[in-house]
Amino acid sequence: MTTVADLPTPALIIDSAALDDNVATMSAVHAGSRLRPHVKAHKCSALAAVQAAHGHTAFTCATPREMLGMADAGLGEDLLLANEVIDPRRLRAMAAVQADAMITVAVDSTQTIDAAAAAGLRNVLIDVNVGLPRCGCQPTEAGRLADYARARSLVVRGVMGYEGHLMIVSDRNSQRESVRAATDLLLLAHRDVGGAIVSAGGTGTYDLHDRVTEIQAGSYALMDTHYAQLGLPFGQACFVVGTVVSSQARYAVADVGLKALGMDHGDPAIVGATVHFCSDEHVTFSMVEGGQPQVGDRVRVVPAHIDPTMAMHSVAWLIKGDEVIDRWPIDLRGW
């Protein structure tokens, strides 16, 4: 039996019980096609297969690589690229798998529509700006873009609008009001666009939507310290295990550094410890209570941002208790 203690570190581990709990909890709220899990949060087709086994067979992706990898893994029933791409080679590569997979790409301009049509793609979703200053057309332009896409013989399946700026809001009532206003904009656009899909939401707003057809949450499956602030009913299912390599009078150092962790949300956490800082291959920390860690001890580091953390590892180890029960390649990395 291989246990967590046998793994070379830093080791990305996924607790299968916590993962199953999270996926089941979300499925109970948004069953089947009401949830379109976002694979950017894990970049792992084996994990996506768990979500599919819970009834979610339509997926959201952020990159062509994620789209092609999901199709390749036999999970291509309904793949949405919730992102704008104009690279003809990558668009053609996605078009080439349309015999086996349903491919839909987001568009927010005539250029992205032209590129999708020229590549031979069939389906698009109009990406609408609902407040986050990123991709997405103005709500009042969505209808015109839908007409333009249809004139180019594309099927317009509906609209999407990601309220990313509203994922982490400390006051739930204020968050609810803001999500309502963002959804108003999305529905305004949908009135002009038509189509069966109104896609929005994320882990931080998964329970604040009753007027869309599907939710794009991803982080809920594994979680991180950033989303943990919200008190959602999802538990931490992913950790980076480190080995203490140096122990000094007032701190210890483990081999989980900023090359093993997404750092855009700040330092990671270690349960029962204060994290002082990360450098390339190290985290320096002190125990809040309990004895001083010894060289060779293992620690579990909780990522502050799960998505980029997953992208830094080539493999995740699935565990049940302390036993390693599977090895999951992070096969959707790259672009």
Q: Which residues bind a second copy (CB under 8 A)?
A: 8-10, 40, 62-63, 83-87, 89-90, 108-109, 111-112, 129, 133-136, 138, 164, 243, 245-248, 250-251, 253, 255, 258-259, 262-264, 276-282, 284, 294-296, 307-308, 311-312, 314, 334-335
Least separation, in Å, of the C-beta of 109 and a second copy? 6
Element (H, E) at 48: helix 45-53
CB of 252 to a second copy, least distance (A): 10
Q: In whole angstroms, how close is the CB of 3 to a second copy at the nearest point?
A: 15
Tell the smallest beta-carbon distance from residue 111 to a second copy (Å): 4
Residue 41 burial by Cβ neighbours in a 10 Å radius (0-12, 13-18, 19+): buried
How far, CA to CA in Å, does 100 sit from each of 95, 96, 162?
A: 10, 9, 28
Amino acid at 53: A
Omega within 30 of 0 (cis) for the link into 133: no
Minimal distance in Å, beta carbon 24 to a second copy?
26
Nearer to a second copy, 143 or 242 (CB): 242
In angstroms, the CA 218 to CA 213 distance is 16
The token duo for 185 is 């904009």
**Eight-class DSSP state of 299:** E
State the Cα–Cα distance between residues 228 and 215, nearest whole angstrom.
19
**Euclidean distance between the first and the last CA atom of the chain, given in angstroms as a whole number:** 36
Tokens of 229: 């602030």
Task: Considering the complex, state which of residue 280 and residue 289 has its C-beta at the smaller distance from a second copy.
Answer: 280
Smallest gap from residue 8 Cβ to a second copy (A): 6
Dist. CA 160–CA 136, nearest whole Å: 9
The nearer residue to a second copy, 54 or 81, going by C-beta atoms, is 81
Closest distance of CB 13 from a second copy, Å: 14
CB-nearer residue toward a second copy: 54 or 222: 222
CB atoms within 10 A of CB 189: 29
The residue (of 54 and 185) whose beta carbon lies closer to a second copy is 185
Identify which of residues 36 and 54 has a Cβ nearer to a second copy in the complex. Answer: 36
For tokens 């060779």, what's the residue? 296
> Which one, 214 or 307, has the nearer CB to a second copy?
307
Which is nearer to a second copy, 153 or 314 (by Cβ)?
A: 314
Q: Is 174 exposed, middle or buried (0-12, 13-18, 19+ CB in 10 A)?
A: exposed
CB of 292 to a second copy, least distance (A): 13
Question: CA-CA distances (angstroms) from residue 56 to 23, 26, 32, 234?
Answer: 10, 10, 5, 17
